[in-house]
Amino acid sequence: MIPPSRNLSRWLASICTVLAIAAFTALTTTTTAATSDARVAQSSRSQILLGRQLVMEHACSECHGGNDNPAAAGWLDGVRSPIQEFKIGPCAVDPSAQPCFTTRPKNITPDNETGIGKYTERQIFNALRYGLRPEETPDVAITSMTPGKGNFPANPKYLAPPMPWNAWRHMPDNQLWAIAAYLKRGVKPSSHKVPDSDRPPDAWASFMTPKDIGNYPAVAFPTSNERAGEGVHAQVQRGRYLVISHDCAACHGGADPTSNGWLAGVMSPAQEFKIGPCAVDPKAQPCFTTRPKNLTPDNTSGIGRFSERQIFNALRYGLRPEETPDVKITSTTPGKGNFPVNPHYLAPPMPWPSWRHMSDADLMAIAAYLKHGVKPVSNKVADSEGPPDFWVSSYTPKDIGTYPAPKYPTANER
């Protein structure tokens, strides 16, 4: 569901310890050995559960299949229709413009033929940290960030946009390993072949400069777009990390906190979205233009006029801050508790159905960063278009899964 028109520059240590203890206790008594086996299984299970949580809250299934619902058919097994493919290049805005590359989110279930079954967890780690295609990158620890330095390939074969590895790479090692563990060991293999993505002769290398994808590691807080000194410093820093590692800027503006227009909202038609059948056929109807808003704390054009609770409600429930009072929402069902009977939801492709899976503390940290850690920028973004029901019929549990997520394992998991 994410953007056909998305801007190109965008989008074991503990196990070893447990094993050592297991080996040691196995020498003593069989009962403790059995307990230790259980602990190894437990530790692998908690790694898989962490990986699942991260896959849920990073919107992987909005591109790779399953729409935020691990119980849905096609969970993570890749695109099935042209509407889920991406057009990268000038053709994203003008269909007749060239060059035009069709890219396709792959099958990331552990099927050996059509999925990631034949790759090691390290190869998946390398895809998420460095953007290196697992198919063309050996199973080795990468020793540098710069092409040609250490064993980083001199001519890297990068994953096609809009795979947001530039954001995922900011997660710490243990989180990327957990995602790899979940994909390899927590999901059932599903046989579904996705054709290769098109690519330019340089395998995207010229689009992967720091100017396009930001710096790694992130530049220290605060940059000239940011401000320290307001709000709780640790909470603001946590929020900043979450904003960077969830790729908010891919839609809301900027490659990283040093960029002009960091989180200031769309500034050109190339950053808008066409939602509806027109995303594939420009003449088809209905067609809604939607626009990522200005998230800086400007009082007139940004989120300055909303409370942190209103921003939280937008991220957890998808409720438009403009039309949702500053109250704690007491239910997740329209008409129950104080959840509006006729909710006014944020327009797609705002991925709140994924963001809502973050913890309360994380969502509040994001709100704190937006309100206190970013400098206000005046940039009025026109309202998004939408259907009369404010997207209610697009946000049923069938479309976006349930909150909280269904219990692990579903029929697609193991």
- The dihedral through the CA atoms of 164, 165, 169, 172 has a sign that is positive
Taking the complex as a whole, the smallest distance from the CB of residue 194 to ligand HEC amounts, in Å, to: 8
Taking the complex as a whole, the smallest distance from the CB of residue 292 to ligand HEC amounts, in Å, to: 4
- What are the contacts of 147-155 at 24+ separation with CB within 8 A? 147/205, 155/202, 155/203, 155/205
Which residues here bind ligand HEC, judged by CB under 6 A?
2-3, 11, 55, 58-60, 62-64, 103-106, 108, 116, 124, 127, 133-135, 159-160, 162-164, 168, 179, 197, 243, 246-248, 250-252, 273, 290-293, 295, 303, 311, 314-315, 320-322, 346-347, 349-351, 355, 366, 384
- Rounded to whole angstroms, the Cα distance separating 369 from 240 reads 6
Taking the complex as a whole, the smallest distance from the CB of residue 25 to ligand HEC amounts, in Å, to: 35
Taking the complex as a whole, the smallest distance from the CB of residue 32 to ligand HEC amounts, in Å, to: 37
Type of residue numbered 121: E
Taking the complex as a whole, the smallest distance from the CB of residue 94 to ligand HEC amounts, in Å, to: 21
Peptide bond into 222 cis (omega under 30): yes
Q: Which is nearer to ligand HEC, 17 or 378 (CB)?
A: 378
Taking the complex as a whole, the smallest distance from the CB of residue 372 to ligand HEC amounts, in Å, to: 14
Taking the complex as a whole, the smallest distance from the CB of residue 35 to ligand HEC amounts, in Å, to: 33
Residues 6+ apart with CB under 8 A from 108: 60, 64, 76, 77, 78, 115, 116, 183, 187
Taking the complex as a whole, the smallest distance from the CB of residue 248 to ligand HEC amounts, in Å, to: 3
Phi, psi (rounded to 5 degrees) for 244:
-70, -45
- Rounded to whole angstroms, the Cα distance separating 351 from 2 reads 8
The first and second tokens of residue 233, run together, are 């410093």
- Rounded to whole angstroms, the Cα distance separating 99 from 150 reads 33
Q: Which is nearer to ligand HEC, 36 or 386 (CB)?
A: 386
Q: Which is nearer to ligand HEC, 18 or 213 (CB)?
A: 213
Q: Which is nearer to ligand HEC, 26 or 280 (CB)?
A: 280
- What are the contacts of 382-387 at 24+ separation with CB within 8 A? 382/291, 383/291, 384/288, 384/289, 384/290, 384/291, 384/347, 385/288, 385/289, 385/290, 385/347, 386/288, 386/290, 386/347, 387/286, 387/288
Taking the complex as a whole, the smallest distance from the CB of residue 34 to ligand HEC amounts, in Å, to: 34
Taking the complex as a whole, the smallest distance from the CB of residue 31 to ligand HEC amounts, in Å, to: 39
Residues 6+ apart with CB under 8 A from 155: 147, 202, 203, 205
Q: Using alpha carbons only, what angle is made at residue 326 by residues 348 and 261, rounded to the nearest 5 degrees? A: 50
Taking the complex as a whole, the smallest distance from the CB of residue 184 to ligand HEC amounts, in Å, to: 10
Q: Is 41 exposed, middle or buried (0-12, 13-18, 19+ CB in 10 A)?
A: exposed
- The dihedral through the CA atoms of 176, 177, 180, 186 has a sign that is negative
Q: Which is nearer to ligand HEC, 58 or 170 (CB)?
A: 58
User: Considering only CA atoms, which of 262, 273, 269 is closest in space to residue 240?
Assistant: 262
The first and second tokens of residue 111, run together, are 């099927």
Ranges of beta strands (E only) in 165-283 are 273-275
Q: Is 335 exposed, middle or buried (0-12, 13-18, 19+ CB in 10 A)?
A: exposed
